[in-house]
Structure 1
Amino acid sequence: MNIMIINCHNFGYKKDNYMKKRVLVCAAFFYPHVGGYENHIYELYSRLTEFFQIDVLVTDFQKNQPYESVEGITIYRIDSWGFLGNLYPIPKLNVNNLNIMRCILKKDYTFVNTHTRFF
């Protein structure tokens, strides 16, 4: 397994320019869902909000708000079905999800990070 450590100073960014950089995080589960995986993602990216604008794209089968901002992290939730005891979320094809994806695609992300079992 290769691990790449990103040091923002290596890219020549100044702290004033960090907020202009955007990170999209794709995850199966995130806040308010509770667990080790969710806590790991939350702790990692909540610390990066000082330097980057963080957006999280996450599946949702619990009928949470489709859009929310928590401690500097913008969360986009796409409606999903939960299979095998809700361990495998499958996104639905509906107008709400298409609108969220259209919004995401309009943004110019510097980094995209996936936290899923398939990538």
Structure 2
Amino acid sequence: MILGKCPYCDGSVIARKFETQGKKIKLYTCENAHKQYDESEAFVFTAESTCTFRVYSNAFLKWNKRSFSQYEMKKLLQDGQTTIRLHGRKGTGEYFKYVIPDKEYGVSILWEEDVPKEGEEELIS
């Protein structure tokens, strides 16, 4: 399934399902980003790869977000950013943050930016 245009090249970003360590996850990847195992069993980009955009759906598991959805990925590709809901360590308390594409990690959370709450307007100073 094509989700949108890659933020780094004109390729299409596609969603692929696979299973690792008994868990089903999705990989959102540019059609121009190809990886394979090399002789040392490391998963590396091939010589034919012209892009490196790849995001795993469990990228935010550390912040108690089980999955980065296809809808969120589509929004990220369309708008250049998206808002995600994260949870505190014990699963209590939720907060929202912006996510943007990142060359090295696929996506990054903008920790310094606060997402205005529903109905809250920005104050003009």
Q: TM above 0.5, one fold?
A: no
Structure with the largest fraction of helix: 1
Structure with the largest fraction of strand: 2
Q: TM-score, normalised by structure 1?
A: 0.24
Q: Specify the structure having the higher radius of gyration (Cα).
A: 2
Q: Quick one: higher RCO (CA 8 Å, sep 6+), 1 or 2? A: 1
